[in-house]
Structure 1
Amino acid sequence: MTQIDYFFATISPYSYLAGNRLEEIAAKHDATINYKPLDIMALFARTGGTPPKDRHVSRIEYRAQELLRQSKNLGMEFNLQPAHWPTNMAPSSYAIIAAIKDGSGDVGKLCQLILRACWAEEKDVAQDDVIRDCLANAGFDPELANSGLLVGAETYAANLEEAVDRGVFGAPFYITPDGQRFWGQDRLDDLDRHLSEMNG
């Protein structure tokens, strides 16, 4: 079975705008998704990127226009300046890692709910109650928010190292088994076509 390695951050607006399209593409190609949450700010520092607040004003202005355009085109509710951004990504990432290990609910839905909480619902995804609600709504035991913290921390750090080693420099980022890399939710159609060619 084809596997897609999916590197993302739980406060990434472009990861949010991907919606459920990766899951739809995976289902279409009978592929599995390896969800790999990571610290996007640490990734920027390691790979020559610049945090949004430190970018040149022209880049900041363009990013704002592009995010609003893409959210409108996708029909997704979007707040350009959410009340709780940036925030600590670790708690929500640890919860996703615990949910992957648990396997009882829908990991893709969990990721989408956490991202939506940040970018459309004015919630702080570093808060325990927000994470617990997302877990419950994705079919997981909310207590996963408080379990496996050591494993979560280790995996979260390992995901960052793996990302750097494999040429990841932003989020969302998708890698196929043959090493093809796709950066950005606006490259999902390209990922879809490549999987068709791989499996054709």
Structure 2
Amino acid sequence: MAHIDYFFSTLSPYAYLAGTRMEEVAARHGATITYKPVDITTLFGRTGGTPPKDRHPSRQELRAQELTRQSKKLGMPFNLKPAFWPTNAAPSSYAIIAAQNAGGGDLGALAHGFLRAVWAEDKDIAQDDVVRATLESAGFDPALADSGLLSGAETYAANLEEAASRGVFGAPFYITDDDQRFWGQDRIADLDLYLAGKL
């Protein structure tokens, strides 16, 4: 059975634009997924990247145009300047880690729920009430927001180290069990073809 390690940030606009297409691809091929939220700003620093606010104006301008075009192309609501971005990604990341350990809900819906909250709903995913509501809407116990904080922090830190060691430098980033790497929501179709044996 194929497996996908999914490295992402709950603050990434490109992870938001991925929607749940990666989950659909995995289901089509019977692949399992491990969700690995990472501290993307620290990862940028570790792998030669630059946070958006520190990029040259020409890069920032193209990013703004590209995000707007991609959201329209995908038919997804999108706010280029969300009210709560950036914010602390740790609470939402810990919640995903706790939910993955607990089981019983829809992890794809949970991850996308946090991303949608940032980029389409102007919610602050660092706030406890938002974390709880997002957990509940994805079929998880909202009390997971309070449990496993220490293990969540440890896993979050370990995810960063793993990402840096495995060649991850942005989000979303997908790695198959045979170390094929796919970066960006615009490479999900290639991931699909690869799992189908066509690439």
Give the TM-score normalised by the residue count of structure 1.
0.98
Per the alignment, residue 162 of structure 2 pairs with 162
Does 1:177 pair with 2:158? no
Cα distance in 2 for partners of 1:87, 1:46 equals 20
Q: CA RMSD in A?
A: 1.0
Unaligned runs of 5+ in 1: none
What SS does the corresponding residue of 1:162 show, helix, strand or coil? helix
Cα distance in 2 for partners of 1:100, 1:133 equals 17
Per the alignment, residue 71 of structure 1 pairs with 71
Q: Which digits, 9 at most, give the CA deviation of each residue in 1:20-65, with x for residues without a partner?
A: 1001000000001110000000000100000000000000000000
Give the aligned length. Answer: 199
Cα distance in 2 for partners of 1:74, 1:41 equals 26
Deviation of 1:184 (Å):
0.1
Cα distance in 2 for partners of 1:120, 1:95 equals 20
Aligned-residue sequence identity (percent) comes to 71
Amino acid at match of 1:18: A
Deviation of 1:110 (Å):
0.3
Unaligned runs of 5+ in 2: none
Does 1:191 pair with 2:191? yes
Segments ≥4 residues shifted beyond 2 Å:
none
Per the alignment, residue 20 of structure 2 pairs with 20
Per the alignment, residue 41 of structure 2 pairs with 41
Amino acid at match of 1:118: V
Deviation of 1:17 (Å):
0.2
Cα distance in 1 for partners of 2:141, 2:21 equals 25
Per the alignment, residue 97 of structure 1 pairs with 97
Deviation of 1:177 (Å):
1.2
Amino acid at match of 1:68: T
Deviation of 1:149 (Å):
0.2
Deviation of 1:104 (Å):
1.1
- Trace 1:83-162 onto structure 2 (pairs within 5 A): 83-162=83-162
Cα distance in 2 for partners of 1:66, 1:7 equals 22
Cα distance in 1 for partners of 2:105, 2:179 equals 29
Q: Which digits, 9 at most, give the CA deviation of each residue in 1:71-130, with x for residues without a partner?
A: 000000000000000000100000000000000111110001000000000000100000
Amino acid at match of 2:83: A
